[in-house]
C-alpha cells in the first residue's frame, strides 16, 4: 500500500495543512489530498477569504486507482468525472476550512445553503428531506463566530451523513462533532461545492489533482 504521508503538507498563507490528520471522533489517520485558497473580489481586488484542506482515508487510493491510476495531474484536473468520484467515492472525507477574515457562522452556512437549494430545485431533487437537512445544517452554524485562524470542519461519511465541527485558532481539533446531518445530497454537496464542476476553489482542485496523480501511480496493482 502506498504511503500517502510521503507527500509533504501544504501551507496556504497562514493556514498550515499537515500531511496527515485525525478527524474528530475517528481512530483513522487521513492523508492530505490537497489544499488551496478561495478568493473573492472585494472592493475591486481579489482577496483570499478562506483556505480549504481536503483529507481522505487510505481506502480512497485503491478505490480511485481502479479508474484513475496512471493519469496525469492535468488529465485529472480537467476531468469532472474524476472529482465526482472523489466526492461520491465509498470512503470517508474530512474537510478543514480556515478563514483569513472574520466570518459569521450563519453567513458562511447561508451561502452554501442558498447555492445547494437553487441547484436541487433546478434538477427537481429538493424535497422535505433536503429542507429539513438544510435547517439542521444552518442551526449548527447560527451562533458561531469564525475569527481568522479558526477552522470549520466537515466529515463526509460513506453512509451519507455530514458531520460539522469547529476549532479555535490554536490549531487543535475537537474530540467530537457539533452536529451530524443525515442527508446524502447535503453530504456530497458540501465537498462538491468546493472541488466539483462549479467548485469555488480552482487552487484546491489543482492541488488535489496534482497530489492524487502522484499517489495513484504508486498504488500496488492487484
Residue 146 belongs to domain with CATH number: 3.50.70.10
Q: How many domains does the chain have?
A: 1
- Has residue 209 been placed in a domain? no
List, in order, residues 6 or more apart from 78 with CB less than 8 Å away: none
- Per-residue pLDDT in tens (0 to 9) along the chain, 222 residues: 446 657 899 999 999 999 999 999 889 999 999 999 998 777 788 788 999 999 999 999 999 999 999 999 999 999 999 999 999 999 999 999 999 999 999 999 999 999 999 999 999 999 999 999 999 999 999 989 999 989 999 999 887 899 999 998 767 899 999 999 999 999 999 999 999 998 899 999 999 999 999 999 888 654
Give this prediction's pTM: 0.94
85 closest CA partner among 62, 51, 118: 62
- Has residue 200 been placed in a domain? no
- Has residue 199 been placed in a domain? no
- Has residue 20 been placed in a domain? yes
- Has residue 115 been placed in a domain? yes
Report d(CA 31, CA 214) in Å as an integer: 13
Cell of 136: 439542521
The domain of 108 spans 4-58+89-194
Amino acid at each position: 500500500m502506498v504511503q500517502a504521508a510521503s507527500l509533504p503538507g501544504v501551507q496556504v498563507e497562514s493556514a498550515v495543512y499537515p500531511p496527515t490528520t485525525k478527524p474528530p471522533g475517528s481512530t483513522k489517520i487521513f492523508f492530505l489530498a490537497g489544499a488551496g485558497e478561495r478568493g473573492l473580489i472585494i472592493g475591486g481586488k481579489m482577496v483570499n477569504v478562506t483556505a480549504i484542506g481536503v483529507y481522505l482515508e487510505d481506502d480512497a487510493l485503491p478505490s480511485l486507482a481502479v479508474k484513475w491510476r496512471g493519469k496525469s495531474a492535468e488529465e485529472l484536473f480537467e476531468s469532472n468525472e474524476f472529482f465526482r468520484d472523489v466526492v461520491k467515492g465509498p470512503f470517508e472525507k474530512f474537510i478543514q476550512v480556515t478563514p483569513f477574515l472574520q466570518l459569521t457562522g450563519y453567513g458562511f452556512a447561508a451561502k452554501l445553503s442558498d447555492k445547494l437549494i437553487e441547484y436541487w430545485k433546478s434538477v427537481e431533487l429538493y424535497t422535505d428531506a433536503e429542507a429539513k437537512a438544510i435547517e439542521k445544517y444552518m442551526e449548527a452554524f447560527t451562533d458561531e463566530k469564525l475569527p481568522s485562524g479558526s477552522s470549520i470542519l466537515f466529515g463526509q461519511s460513506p453512509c451519507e451523513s455530514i458531520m460539522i465541527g469547529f476549532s479555535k485558532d490554536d490549531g487543535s481539533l475537537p474530540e467530537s462533532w457539533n452536529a451530524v446531518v443525515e442527508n446524502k445530497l447535503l453530504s456530497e454537496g458540501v465537498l462538491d461545492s468546493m472541488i466539483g464542476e462549479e467548485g469555488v476553489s480552482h487552487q484546491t482542485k489543482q492541488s488535489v489533482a496534482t497530489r492524487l496523480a502522484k499517489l495513484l501511480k504508486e498504488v500496488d496493482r492487484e
